[in-house]
Structure 1
């Protein structure tokens, strides 16, 4: 009984420094394990481990039927696929005619993909993107309980599924992640180079978030858990990054540290003056997104001018 009370108390305190990261209208447009482990091979499925204490507050899933599932646009097709350990996973996909890019989107730490349907429809129409948003294990209709290892395996499986559905190599996909999803996208990019990487309000490392908000308890988070600043050094693909200057959950300094560490020679950081964690995308982003996708299609030379540039602060 006492042990349970202590555990509950620790969880309550830890939750204070990881605020719910979700918006009702979707995202702001409007050292880790290998992702290619032998457990993915047929006949070698290992049982999933239980979430650790820090993972239980890191992941804040909303299980089906929670969420606006009835608002799924007609253009969204439902996709089912399996994680390496056999967990059934769920995704939504929209397809554009002659797409400017094929995108895998990794969402934040809370909610589920039902929040993204209308945004997906807008992105398809306004930016000609073929896009898939998937739910990590334990979120929405996806089975299981979320752990860092499991979520990274889910993301690798989602990447493979999207490549198959879109009929293109995984290396031609554009990875896009927000907050926690940015950390997932970085690990994917470090494992296998994508065509490009987009990050919104993403932290430098999970441990640094804990150090900032709850230093007395941050020792519970292993230093190599979602260490994005270490992983991104090996990511050489073009990078487009956004951050709000008034983000108190993931301060701008973390975004700047991540940007500085990125191994890409063609990277751009766009800032929104006064933007917080859920409103850190500048008004210039739609045009920047179109230009980024066009440059990726045109080839490396068209991106050379963007090397090292820092975007102007948007009002």
Structure 2
């Protein structure tokens, strides 16, 4: 795929606008994997016929400040210790993410809201960087106004391209409970080219916003990620103010991290540590890293000295070929949480972060 701009760092790139860069950044599933239908027998309550209907799940349509109507789901847990706002990856929509949302809510004991970006699934409008910022703000506003969630109870979760709206919102909320960055990007342009400075037309400038995030941050990244190199996650972790022990999954790719048992174990530990930290300190700020419980996982290392000065150029072959290349002789044990999610996510060819 030709992205239309050069690989060097000179001013030749200056002619590329943010709209051109954004044109190649979004791949909503086409056709969408789900529909939203009103149930007239229940007063017009919305539901998604393609997924199991549950009493503990609300399907909602939200109006954003940019005039789009986005679809969100809210999964309730009877003993929730926190609420998680999940921003999904580039080539997925709510229909594909639904089972994972339900299982994460159950395993982590949290309420969970997931939403579709403008132009994804049954959300109206077009997928752009600034529309996704409005999208996550609408979901955040709903959590506060409809569900009474306070910032101190809220954990933001950003997967891949979802790290963009996640870091943007987190940089504006000083009292969040925590942030999870799953295969995150330093910026859109840095996924493609090893640039050393930020250009005005770049998108999702996480590298410049990370220092403004004040809560504990967990970074999870696969060491064999051929879409977003693991150096992105490692550099963002270095930039965190309040670091939680990261998880570098050895051999993990871009779309299969949930298949590793270490994934849910480490994520659960992080969520529970945030709850303990809140109760123990009565709201005061302390480090969330527990030297006994948060040792570096066996699957990787948190040594920041592994960071190189340059980011390698990322392969843009089809995801199928990338996953094939990243297969190891010793396959990870498949966790109960994942139900053939690599097969479920039928990615199209091209950049899919």
CA distance in 2, matches of 1:246, 1:295: 28
1:243 CA drift (Å): 0.6
Higher CA-based Rg: 2
Write out aligned runs for 1:1-315 (5 A).
Answer: 12-14=1-3, 52-62=19-29, 65-67=32-34, 70-75=49-54, 76-193=57-174, 194-212=176-194, 222=200, 224-264=202-242, 266-281=243-258, 282-300=260-278, 304=287, 306=289, 311-314=296-299
User: What is the aligned-residue RMSD (CA, Å)?
Assistant: 2.8
What are structure 1's unaligned runs of at least 5 residues? 1-11, 16-49
Change (3 A) 1:290 1:229: same
Change (3 A) 1:72 1:205: same
1:204-247 Cα shifts (integer Å, max 9, x gaps): 121211214xx8xx999745521112111111201111111111
What are structure 2's unaligned runs of at least 5 residues? 5-16, 36-47, 300-331, 333-353
Change (3 A) 1:66 1:221: farther
Larger proportion of helix: 1
Change (3 A) 1:279 1:96: same
Q: Which is further off, 120-129 or 137-146?
A: 120-129
CA distance in 2, matches of 1:114, 1:209: 27
Aligned to 1:6: none
Change (3 A) 1:141 1:158: same
1:26-60 Cα shifts (integer Å, max 9, x gaps): xxxxxxxxxxxxxxxxxxxxxxxx98121121011
Structure 1 runs (4+) greater than 4 angstroms displaced = 218-221, 300-303, 307-310
Would you say the 8 A contact 1:80–1:91 is kept in 2? yes
1:98 CA drift (Å): 2.1
Would you say the 8 A contact 2:58–2:74 is kept in 1? yes
Q: Which is further off, 275-284 or 296-305?
A: 296-305
Q: Provide the aligned length of Structure 1 versus Structure 2.
A: 265
CA distance in 2, matches of 1:88, 1:103: 21
Would you say the 8 A contact 2:59–2:74 is kept in 1? yes
1:81 CA drift (Å): 1.0
Change (3 A) 1:204 1:313: farther
TM-score normalized by structure 1? 0.76
Q: Which is further off, 291-300 or 97-106?
A: 291-300
Would you say the 8 A contact 1:90–1:135 is kept in 2? yes
CA distance in 1, matches of 2:147, 2:89: 24
